[in-house]
Each structure stands twice: as structure tokens, then as C-alpha cells.
Amino acid sequence: MIVRTKKYQLPTNTYIKTALGAVLKQQWWVGLIYLAICAGYFIIPNWWWIIGATIALVLYILFWVIQFAGVTQLEQGKFMFQKMSYEISSQQILLKLNAKQGMPMKWDQIKRATKGKDHFVLYASKAQLLYFPFKIFNNENEIRFIETVLKRKGFIKE
């Protein structure tokens, strides 16, 4: 079965929020480092431990926000923000700009995937992702098919 989606353009704000959330979820241990530095207050009572750790944490998050905002401006990342339709099968995902221009993406290029309450997100790298809101699919069966493919490929759990 091949699922043909409606045309969709990924909004840059959605991309930045999704990518930042994924990186912060992946790098949860940064929060432990923050807490460990803040715990220095109990060794040598000084508010600079907490102030310094908070500044470092804000700079870390700002670094990733700038990285993802930069991807939206780079020529190499422009394809993710163009209006495209997708043809999804169990062998590959075809990203189509129009009837004649397209780019195949094999499933082995996908590192992981998540299913939200109203979307699927497929991650090829930290900065490259495919965001499929359920509204681009034509019916409920197509959503179930994509979910089944993602389960078979081991990207999402039952």
C-alpha cells in the first residue's frame, strides 16, 4: 500500500519546537549537571553557584534554539520548509515537490520516530526531521498503516 498525502509545509516554529524538545529529551542528563552545580551551594554557601549554573543552562538552551533557527535559513535545509506531498510505503518515503520533482528517503535513513496525539515525527538526524500532522492524511486507515509500518520497523512501541 502507498499512502499519498496532501501537500504540507512545515512551519518553522513547529520545527524549532519539535527539534528543541527532541534534543532536550535526548540530552536529559544536562539537567543533572545543572543540579550538581547548584548543589555546590551546600558545600560553599554562595548564590553564585545557582546564578552561574542557571546562566550556563540558559546559554545551552539558547545554543540549540539558534542552531535550529539557523537551519531554517540555510540553503541546505530549505527543502524541509517547502510545500511538499509525500508518498509513504513500507520500502521508502518519497518527498515530492511536484509531479516531476521528488526525493526518495529509505527507511534506514530514519534514526527514530515518535507519535504525538495529532502527528508523527520521523528523525533522520538532530536537525533533520519529517513532521506529519494527521490532517495531511486522507483517512484514518492511512494513519493506522503508517503506525503499523513504524511499529514493524521498530521505531515506535505498541
Is the pLDDT reported for residue 80 higher than 90? no
9-41 pLDDT, tens per residue?
A: 999 999 999 999 999 999 999 999 999 999 999
Residue 49 backbone phi and psi in degrees, to 5: -60, -50
pLDDT band at 77 (very low <50, low <70, confident <90, very high): confident
Output the pTM of the full model. 0.86
Cβ-Cβ contacts under 8 Å for 40 (sequence gap 6 or more): 49
3-class DSSP state for residue 98?
coil
pLDDT band at 143 (very low <50, low <70, confident <90, very high): very high
Report percent pLDDT > 70 for the chain.
99
